[in-house]
Amino acid sequence: MAAAAETSSDRTLRSAFGSVLSFFILLLIGVLAFSIRLFSVIKYESVIHEFDPYFNYRVTQFLTKNGIYDFWNWFDDRTWYPLGRVIGGTVYPGLTLTAGTLWRILNSLNIPLSVETVCVFTAPIFSAFASWAAYLLTKEVKGAGAGLTAAVLLAMVPSYISRSVAGSYDNEAVAIFALIITFYLYIKTLNTGSLFYATLNAIAYFYMVCSWGGYTFIINLIPMHVLLCIVTGRYSSRLYIAYAPLVVLGTLLASLVPVVGFNAVLTSEHFASFLVFIIIHVVALVYYIKGILSAKMFKVAVTLVVSIGLVVCCAVIAVLIALVASSPTMGWSGRSLSLLDPTYASKYIPIIASVSEHQPPTWPSYFMDINVLAFLVPAGIIACFLPLSDASSFAVLYIVTSVYFSGVMVRLMLVFAPAACIMSGIALSQAFDVFTRSIKFQLPGISGKSDFDGGDTSSSSVVAENDAAKPDKSEETLKERPSRKNKKKEKEQVEKASVEKTSTKSKKEKRLLVLPLEASVIALLLLVFLGSFYVVHCVWAAAEAYSAPSIVLTSHSHDGLHVFDDFREAYAWLRHNTEVDDKVASWWDYGYQTTAMANRTVIVDNNTWNNTHIATVGTAMSSPEKAAWEIFNSLDVKYVLVVFGGLVGYPSDDINKFLWMVRIGGGVFPHIKEPDYLRDGQYRIDSQATPTMLNCLMYKLSYYRFVDVDGKGFDRVRRTEIGKKYIKLTHFEEVFTTHHWMVRIYKLKPPRNRIRGKTKKSKTKTSATSSSRKSVARKKNPWH
Amino acid sequence: MARSTSRDAEALFHSLRSAYVATPSSLKIIDLYVGFAVFTAVIQVVYMAVVGSFPFNSFLSGVLSCVGTAVLAVCLRIQVNKENKEFKDLPPERAFADFVLCNLVLHLVIMNFLG
Amino acid sequence: MAKSLLYITLTISLLPFLAISFSPESPTDRRVLVLLDDFAVKSSHSLFFDSLKSRGFELEFKLVEDPNIGLQRYGQYLYDALVLFCPSVERFGGSINVASIADFVDSGHDLIIAADTNASDLIREISTESGVDFDENAAAMVIDHTGYAVSNTEGDHTLIASDDLIKSDVILGSKNIEAPVLFQGIGHSVNPANSLALQVLAASPSAYSANPLSKLSSPPSLTGSAISLVSVIQARNNARIVVAGSLSMFSNRFFRSGVQKAGSSTKYEKSGNEEFFTELSKWVFHERGHLKAVNVRHHKVGESDEPAMYRINDDSDYSVEIYEWSGTSWEPFVANDVQLQFYMMSPYVLKTLSTDKKGLYSTSFKVPDVYGVFQFKVEYQRLGYTSLSLSKQIPVRPFRHNEYERFLPAAYPYYGASFSMMVGFFIFTVVHLYSK
């Protein structure tokens, strides 16, 4: 009991020092989280990235210009022509409102930032918040040391960086913060049993619902945890306080968000929470009766209630099943179904399967996105089981479910990343704890060890990690102290009381777990090495892999850096050279950008809510020219935009996406058949390609005049010569092609003014030549 | 068998009542309040079943306000119950303040959602 | 003064709707270029030209070989219409060629083509561009052994008296042309799939197209009423073209000669040619059948301003004024078949517009319960008339959040419950605080 031997004044000093230190560490973590995401701004420029962020940006502009009520009721007639889109009712407003509020506050403080700047930097700011939230959550689970480690890890985890670099103005940027803070408040309520935190929890949940469709993860995970607690006999009235108000308030608040609305009570995603809500009431009643009755009487009551209760339960379940079964797709949305059954989407909904972020991830992507955390997670899970508290069981449940979901969809790696960080934070901190303790045990002369290995590390975050281990230690000693309740706040006392028991137990274990000095030092060094490897990887990922804005592309070649700014060139052309009301058709990927940057009406965009409409565009792209012209003309389309990477080797162009257009189009219009576009099951564009393929609009528009470039028509993406080199367009005319040919814009020709007679062109041509020949002959005649 | 069950039930009823009589009156008031809320909720559900669920948002807010009130009252009851050892450290004033805050939020949302 | 000002603004606002016509205020052609093989035609066809002149046209006669002829100068067209009375032309002088004539038509100008037996390839090509095909056999003529004109001495039955005229008041005037029209020349055919071209004067079912001098060795390529003697084409931009298979049809000789159809006892003093071509030239030079629509207006019932956006279930008024050009002034156009579509991929509302006989067409309807980007569309395409195609885009939005019905009686119990909960909460607070 080394700590107990110290004087009490020393202890207060140390705890105060520890909290000040952890405060500064947190501040540094925030700065780190913010600054590591600025690579994109430094390397490129301060622009909005990708596709979806452009829509969010446009919505934010509208919000800041017209105010919240107009935003709420915004009917956008520039997308999904001619259907239009009710933006207020179909968008998760959390991100937009956040950035709008931020902008308004800054402006009222006379800091004149443009909306775009605010939007660009929203994600980094919120990632700093998210790492603080992770600190709080992990602190509730396993103490402050683990919290700091987890916060550091989260600040740098590549998976999260990929979605929150400066300019990546997407829902996930704020949603991850909302997710973690909701979990934190849930755990906090669970640990304290205070209604105050329950209210905050409901509000945090509301923010999450506003921000991202992933809120269903919360509303399913928390009931699962409650159920787990009940089943394992860990029910407490704190659990009731944490859960019941959350369901009622959360459901009400969720229904306030227009995009969710009545779905909050009507769809199957939410039924689990209601079921558990009923169960927890039953359980609470049982515990209450058990409390006021004698044991014998309770037994009697149980036999009585069980016999009646079974009947009631059966009836209720039957009704519920009937309700669920009566709705199509069993009341589940397509995306949720594809989560539960990973093969569902590829079987039934090509439009979900066509999005690359809805594909299952590969193993390398796990390593890319969470790096060494993948190895630390199991250790963290083990650490959570010794000892198992309500909070740590929640963390375990969180990681297990998120591992599954991330295995189904790449996009949900994002949910998995915070869990992995928390687990790894716990594991690292526990490991440091064990090793430093055994060093300290064997070298009682050395009080701190931060100077011990702080000297031989260069990376700043490793220092942070070492620092993280130190307050962890001081926190540990703080816990070991005899209870001093009056000094701490009441709400933390409950937690402390529970921790107290376990800590004495673990202390004994730790005494037994003392390792040899050399082994500890080597293990420590290895951990530090692991940590620095992680840091190096994260910085590399942030700088190289995830900071490209995808709207501006660069490539390195032997003669230096090339910048491809074709997208903005094309959108600027559209903005300046077409009428305001002109409609531009393109594959839906480019819809958001076209509306945001070119300010032109589009037929389909990235909000893929209407499958038929997308299929219409897909069909047009895969039809021969005349049929395509008719489809586009019926939609009042003036311009067709295709993205073509064959000249510069840009792989995600329309020809590579073309099979999805065929599939999606064929899903609604059966005359488009995928095998028609494949030669022996192979997708090819060279001379072996099928005639259907060579004659479809997408092929023609992509390769029109392409052969003029090098005389051969060599496609650098497909690495082959194109099959049909001399393409003639009759119903479309090329109006603009960008510098690197990445975007090509075609105009629909108006219907011919006159309908020509039947006589073949070739015949008239020969007759024309013959007539000219004749006329020449006749001209010569006078000199004859 | 049936007779023994009914006798058991009778005994159970008696012991329940005797146990309940012992609860303090402040808790009884809360129980009354909870009962009132649940009763109102049930009436609304019945009304909905008869009339139909057309103004669904009104129905939802009506029922959820009752359920919410009941749930929050139960929470308060758990917290101010002196027999409950889990909350010995939580002063009842603080518990009540939390309760009021929570209720205010609830009713604010209800007002918003009712129309 | 104010009225004329209004008129001008109206016509300016009309510009995008009307096809690019000549001057939108008076669409009748004024300056006509007549290209001749030979100046003799000027006198031999003087009746036709005089009738044009008397109606106020400025005719400019040029020989096809004239090296100075040209349709446009400095990007401006010099003429409003072109008359090609030069069936044997092999090559135009100056800057005129097939492409320039096609451009002339595509920019909204009118054209009369008269071919004849042995029509040159150039004339055939121009006709093909316009959408009619002459018999490929250059020496072929239309022969009709039952429908020939008996007053003729020639025995090969190539002078045809046809009375198979198109029944259209717009194209041929309201007065019935009694006498048959004389024709002698080459036949042509019109692709039935061609919606722009029309047979105005068709041959009788017994006619066929062949060389009258040689024996018929193979079945003729054109037979029966598929043979068109005179056709009109109205291009999509409302430019009008007349193609006739005979130049002599326009001649004074044919205008003046009497006619008796074979097998018919009635003998007409004068053939129908003069009347036929006078009426047809009125049509082709836009003295008739030219419509314009102005003053397209729509607004909510009870309001007068045009909204930028409608809400679902709004009541809307729509009105448009349609006038027809009478050759000298715009007269109200009266018809009962002008329809309005409220259109989004398919017409959601289709209503016939009612007219006040003074040119104003109007209707009112309820905007459907569907939101989206709609169009007010009037598509008026009638035989002989210029096509009217008006469309105006208008978005229809759903209800705003505060436009839904409130305080429904059915919801009063819920309101009551909610408020009783609030009151209950208040009472409970008081009781709870004072019960200790």
Over residues A768-779, mean pLDDT: 38
Give the range among A23-32, A435-444, C269-278, C289-298 with minimum mean pLDDT: A435-444
Q: What percent of chain A has pLDDT over 90?
A: 27
- The answer to whether residue C106 scores a pLDDT higher than 70 is yes
Strand partners, C310: C396
In-domain check, residue B52: yes
Centre a 10 Å sphere on the Cβ of residue A689 and count the other Cβ atoms it contains.
Answer: 22
DSSP A522: H
Per-residue pLDDT, A784: 41
B76 located within any domain: yes
Smallest CA–CA separation between A116 and chain C, in Å? 28
ipTM: 0.90
pLDDT of C1 above 50: no
Does residue B9 belong to any structural domain of this protein? Answer: no
Residue C308 pLDDT more than 80? yes
Q: Are residues C196 and C103 both part of a single domain?
A: yes
Which of A179-183, A301-305, A406-410 is least confident? A301-305
pLDDT value at residue C272:
86
| Geometric angle at alpha carbon C139, from C135 and C142, rounded to 5° | 60
User: What CA–CA distances, in Å, run from A161 to A43, A217, A370, A373, A398?
Assistant: 16, 21, 10, 15, 21
Predicted confidence at residue A514, as pLDDT, reads 66
Domain boundary among the residues C284, C313, C330 is at C284
Distance of alpha carbon A729 from alpha carbon A168, whole angstroms: 39
Interface partners of chain A (CB pairs < 8 Å, 3 or more) are: B, C
pLDDT of residue A735: 93
Residue A324: the pLDDT is: 65
Decide if B80 is inside a domain: yes
Q: Mean pLDDT over residues C188-211, rounded?
A: 87
Task: Measure the CA–CA gap between C149 and A369, rounded to whole angstroms.
Answer: 94
Q: CA-to-CA distance for A620 and A614, rounded, in angstroms?
A: 10
Which residue from C406, C429, C436 is facing B115, i.e. has the nearest CB?
A: C406
- Which pLDDT band, with edges at 50, 70 and 90, does C153 fall under? low
- Farthest CA pair distance, chain A: 136
Question: Tens digits of per-residue pLDDT, A391-432?
Answer: 889 999 999 999 888 888 888 888 899 999 999 999 999 888
**Dihedral through CA A412, CA A418, CA A421, CA A423, nearest 10?**
-90
- For residue C16, being part of any structural domain is answered with no
Mean pLDDT of chain A, nearest integer? 80
The pLDDT-based confidence of A335 (bands split at 50, 70, 90) is low
Gap between the Cα atoms of A121 and A224, Å rounded: 35
**Which residues of chain C are within 8 Å of residue A762 when distances are taken between CB atoms?**
none
Q: In this predicted model, what pLDDT tens digit does every residue of A113-153 receive, in sequence order?
A: 899 999 999 999 999 999 999 999 999 888 888 999 999 99
What span, in angstroms and rounded, lies between the C-alpha atoms of B107 and C426? 11
Residues 6+ apart with CB under 8 A from A126: A98, A164, A173, A174, A176, A177
Is residue C330 domain-shared with residue C417, that is, in the same domain? no
Is A775's pLDDT higher than 60? no
In a domain, C5, yes or no: no
DSSP code per residue over A303-363: HHHHHHHHHHHHHHHHHHHHHHHHSGGGG--HHHHHHHSTTHHHHH-HHHHTSGGGSPPPH
C185 with C148, same domain?
yes
Is the pLDDT score of A446 beyond 80?
A: no
Tell me the per-residue pLDDT of A587-615, one tens digit each, with 9 for 90 and over: 988 889 999 899 999 998 888 778 888 89
Among the listed residues A268, A274, A246, the one whose alpha carbon sits nearest the alpha carbon of residue A339: A268
Domain that holds residue B36: 24-114
Kindly state whether residues C294 and C357 are assigned to the same domain: yes
Return the pLDDT at C2.
46
In a domain, C2, yes or no: no
Higher per-residue confidence, A512 vs C372: C372
Q: Give domain status of residue C9, yes or no.
A: no
Q: Are strands C207-210 and C160-162 parallel, antiparallel or unpaired?
A: unpaired
Q: Same domain for C216 and C126?
A: yes
Residues C120 and C175 in one domain: yes
- Chain A CB contacts of B108 below 8 Å: none
- Residue A11 has a pLDDT of 73
Flag if A248 and B68 touch (Cβ within 8 Å). yes
Which of C268, C284, C300 is at the close of a domain? C284
Helix or strand holding residue A491 (H, E):
helix A490-512
At C336, which CATH number? 2.60.40.1930
Regarding whether C312 and C277 lie in a shared domain, the answer is: no
Domain that holds residue C188: 22-284
Facing residue for B44 by CB, picked from C413, C422, C433: C413
The pLDDT of residue C17: 41
- Is B30 in contact with B73 (CB distance < 8 Å)? yes
pLDDT averaged per 10 residues in sequence order, chain B, 115 residues: 64 77 80 89 87 80 88 86 70 84 87 77
Same domain, C426 and C374: no
Query: What digits encode the pLDDT tens for the residues A477-516?
Result: 333 333 333 333 333 444 444 444 444 445 545 555 567 7
Q: Cβ of A255 and B68 within 8 Å?
A: no
> Is C371 domain-assigned?
yes
Classify residue B10: in a domain, yes or no: no
Q: Is residue B106 part of a domain?
A: yes
For position C15, what pLDDT does the model report? 41
Cα–Cα distance measured from residue A696 to residue A671, given in angstroms and rounded to the nearest whole number: 13
Structure tokens at B46: 């019945």
Cα A75 from Cα C398, distance rounded (Å): 7
If asked whether residues C300 and C334 sit together in one domain, one would say: yes
Span A736-752, pLDDT tens digits:
999 989 999 999 998 88
Give the pLDDT score at A744: 93
Q: Mean pLDDT over residues C279-305, rounded?
A: 88
- How close does chain C come to A773, measured CA to CA in Å? 10
DSSP, collapsed to helix, strand or coil, labels residue A109 as coil
Q: Is residue C10 part of a domain?
A: no
Domain count, chain B: 1
> pLDDT of A266-300, one tens digit each?
777 788 888 889 888 888 888 887 777 766 766 77
| Residue B7 placed within a domain | no
Q: How confident is the model at residue A102 (pLDDT cuts 50, 70, 90)?
A: very high
Domain final residue, candidates C243, C260, C284: C284
**Is the bond into A342 cis (omega within 30 degrees of 0)?**
no
What confidence category does residue C23 fall into, taking pLDDT thresholds of 50, 70 and 90? low
C99 in A contact zone (CB under 8 Å): no
Which residues in chain B have their CB less than 8 angstroms from residue A300's CB? 8-9, 11-12
Tokens of C296: 């397209």
Shared domain check, C172 and C144: yes
pLDDT digits (tens, 9 = 90+) for A634-679: 988 999 999 998 888 888 889 988 988 998 888 889 898 888 888 8
In a domain, B56, yes or no: yes
Same domain, C183 and C143: yes
Q: Quickly state the pLDDT bin for A374 (edges 50, 70, 90).
A: confident
> Which residue would you say has higher pLDDT here, A235 or A356?
A235
Query: Does C70 map to a domain?
Result: yes
Integer Cα distance of A93 and A758 in angstroms = 59
**The domain that contains C135 carries what CATH number?**
3.40.50.880
Within an 8 Å CB–CB cutoff, is residue A252 touching chain B?
A: yes
Taking the C-alpha atoms of residue C298 and residue C374, their distance in angstroms, rounded to an integer, is 13
**One domain, residues C347 and C274:** no
pLDDT digits (tens, 9 = 90+) for C324-356: 988 788 889 988 889 999 998 888 999 999 988
What is the number of structural domains in chain C?
A: 3
Nearest-neighbour CA in chain A from C400: distance (Å):
5
